[in-house]
Chains A and B, each alone.
Chain A
Amino acid sequence: DIQMTQSPSTLSSSVGDTVTITCRATESIGTWVAWYQHKPGNAPKLLIYKASNLESGVPARFSGSGSGPEFTLTISSLQPDDFATYYCQQYDSASRRYTFGQGTKVEIK
């Protein structure tokens, strides 16, 4: 099965910073990658689908890029509401299965 290696596991940043999170797949997966934001007690929130498409209602400071095997999520001008854990997710169109990255906790410096 395809694995996703997400880095870093923790990221300490300040309001206004630009942060980048990376996911690398063990095989080429086209652009079937999504990014989610999760805060404890809340439902995970879809930010980006198909590697670079911004989900409706998500602020434009979130952006995604890349194609198999490396993908990035960039948050420009970090806001207080952005401190959370972020996950990448890949969809393998051959097996029709999903895998999540290990998660990146973005915390206040």
Chain B
Amino acid sequence: QVQLQESGPGLVRPSETLSLTCTVSGSSIAGRYWSWIRLPPGQGLEWIGYVYYTGNTNLNPSLKSRVTMSVDTSKSQFSLRLTSVTAADTAIYFCARVGRGEANDYWGLGTLVTVSS
């Protein structure tokens, strides 16, 4: 079955760069869009953006200036970089696959990233 797993540091210092990777199994990266979504403590889900297997992206305008996404089809992975982080970027970060009806049909369990000195 399709599985996604996020990986990366759980603690990032303020002003530094958050880097996460999502490893996909059970589904080809090719031909699909792949999302990053986050859940800040006590708040709701926030769409960060998505990356196509070709590397094309579409990003949330509120984060666009700080976000980079990329794909490594040979490793069946896609990645997120968020620069100049602050405490407001503390959240559980999820990766997901875009499926039918442009909905996110498979998600990772999420990884908590805390921004703190």
Q: Which residues in A have some Cβ–Cβ distance to B below 8 Å? A: 1, 32, 34, 36, 38, 41-46, 49-50, 53, 55, 87, 89, 91, 93, 95-103
Contacts and interface: CB of A to CB of B under 8 A. Distances in A.
Nearest to B61: A1
B108 A49 contact: no
Interface residues of B, number: 24
Contacts of B39: 38
A102 B101 contact: no
A43 B45 contact: no
Contact of A100 (B44, B50, B100, B101): B44
A44 B101 contact: no
Interface of B: 35, 37, 39, 44-47, 50, 58, 60-61, 94, 96, 99-105, 107-110
A43 B60 contact: no
Nearest to A43: B107
Contacts of A50: 100-103
B104 A46 contact: yes
Contacts of A32: 101-102
Contacts of A34: 101-104
Given A44-B96, A49-B100, 10 more contacts: A1-B61, A36-B45, A44-B45, A49-B102, A49-B103, A49-B105, A87-B45, A91-B102, A97-B61, A100-B47
5 contacts: A1-B61, A41-B109, A93-B102, A102-B44, A103-B45
Given A34-B101, A97-B58, A97-B60, A44 B47 contact: no
B94 A43 contact: yes
A18 to B, nearest CB: 24
B117 to A, nearest CB: 27
B35 to A, nearest CB: 8
A87 B108 CA distance: 17
B44 A44 contact: no
Nearest to A6: B44
B94 A53 contact: no
Given A43-B94, A44-B94, A97-B58, A53 B46 contact: no
